Amino acid sequence: MINLREETDYQEAVEAFKDEPTVIVEPWGMSLNHLRLTIKGISDTPYDGGKFIFEVKMPDNYPFSPPYVYAHTLMWHPNIDSSIPPGKLNICLDLINPDLVGKVDAQTGASGWTPSKTLANIVEALKGMMHCEAPFFNPGDPLNFEAGEQAQRAYDKFAKKAREWTQKYAID
C-alpha cells in the first residue's frame, strides 16, 4: 500500500530527471514504493558507458525513515561496496543511513535523512556518486576501503580497475 507522499516523491523525481539522459526512475514491479533507479556512467569518469542499477524501497513509516537503497550492479567505487549482501546497506551516504536520521556531520556538514528530504535528493546524490562529483564521490570516507585508498593515492590504478569492472558488470 503506497501513501500519498511516496506517490508525490516518485512523480517529483520522474519529473526532475525526465530530461536527464543518465537517470531512469521507474517502478521495480507494480508499486511506487519499490523502485528501480538506473544511473548511466558519463564520459571522463571510470564508469563511462555503464548502467548501474539501484533498488529503492520505501519503509512503512516513510518519510520519517529513509528509503532502503541497494546497489545491485557490481562496481569498484569508494562509497559503494558490492561485496555486501542484499538486506544490508552497501552504499555510504549519510542521506540514507537510518542511524543518521536528523543528524548533521559537524566535519562535513552532510546531513542525514529528515522528512523534508525526497526521493529526488537521493537520486541526485547517487548520480553525483556515479558521475564522480564531490561531495558525493568521497574517497576520504569510504565504505570500500581498498577502492577509497586507491582513489586517493593512485587514482590512475583506481580508474583502471573501475573501468574494468564497468566493462565486465555494467555494460549490456
Cα–Cα distance for residue pair 22/147, rounded to 1 Å: 23
- Judge contact between 31 and 2, C-beta under 8 A: yes
Closest CA to 37 of 51, 19, 58: 51
- Active-site positions read 92
- Phi, psi angles (nearest 5°) of residue 23: -130, 130
* Strands annotated E in 12-158: 23-27, 34-40, 51-57, 68-71, 76-77, 80-81
Task: Enter the DSSP assignment of 50.
Answer: -
